[in-house]
Amino acid sequence: MTGVPEIFDRPSPNRDARPDGTQIDILLLHYTGMRTAEAALERLTDSAAKVSAHYLIEENGTCWRLVGEEQRAWHAGVASWAGASDINARSIGIELVNPGHQFGYRRFPPAQMQSLSALSLDIIARREIPQSRVLGHSDVAPERKEDPGELFDWAGLAKSGVGLWPEPSPSSRSDMAFEEAMRLLSHIGYAAPETQVMNAGARNILLAFQRRWLPSDLTGALTPETAARIRDVHAAHNPS
């Protein structure tokens, strides 16, 4: 892996101070969901839009800094993880240029992933961010967001040293009570509802989990394959 990519500055006014004493302990990944990189840069630096991120990485690997890490960028929106709700205050946000599900969702090119990996390795080393807290936008806002989505190569990113990707257990299918599934998902960090039956909130959580950990099973249902994967991911987040 090469060193940190060259970073170009394009300051965004959409930022403010982090609350005193807040520890940065989340690296949050997004896709831009816009037709072009320039359109995304314009929006993320438009004061009227009131959205931003710390970094943006184009498909060719070009990296832009929009907000300094010491400041709070406005990228997560209404979100939560492991009981914490002000995700912007405790995170560094990286936007990846991609048309998204609305404009022709596609895989993230190698050059983009290489820049992301190099930048992320530097951030998590400097900020001492746990690997278990390298997250996608859909993880923290499952009722609203799909990004970076099922085509994002989480496994490849983990192989480069960024984030978790537990290998599937020998049994790829497992029976699990719905209430237990929600409990384990909550332990992982998802805002899973306390319920014994499927409802809209539970389906959103399951879809977010599948997008991240089991993109071959985008059903929003507690299938045997998803149950087995929940056990794998829970074990990775709670090593004995």
> Is 95 labeled as catalytic in the residue annotation?
yes
Q: In angstroms, rounded to a whole number, what is the distance separating the alpha carbons of residues 35 and 38?
A: 9
Say if CB 154 and CB 45 are below 8 A apart. Answer: no
Q: In angstroms, rounded to a whole number, what is the distance separating the alpha carbons of residues 24 and 9?
A: 21
- State the burial class of residue 29 (Cβ atoms within 10 Å of its Cβ: 0-12, 13-18, 19+): buried
Q: In angstroms, rounded to a whole number, what is the distance separating the alpha carbons of residues 133 and 81?
A: 9
Q: Which of 6, 38, 59, 95 is catalytic?
A: 95
DSSP state, residue 96: E
Residues with Cβ < 8 Å from 136, sequence gap 6 or more? 28, 29, 30, 147, 148, 149, 152, 154, 211, 212
Q: In angstroms, rounded to a whole number, what is the distance separating the alpha carbons of residues 108 and 31?
A: 10
Q: Which residues are catalytic?
A: 95
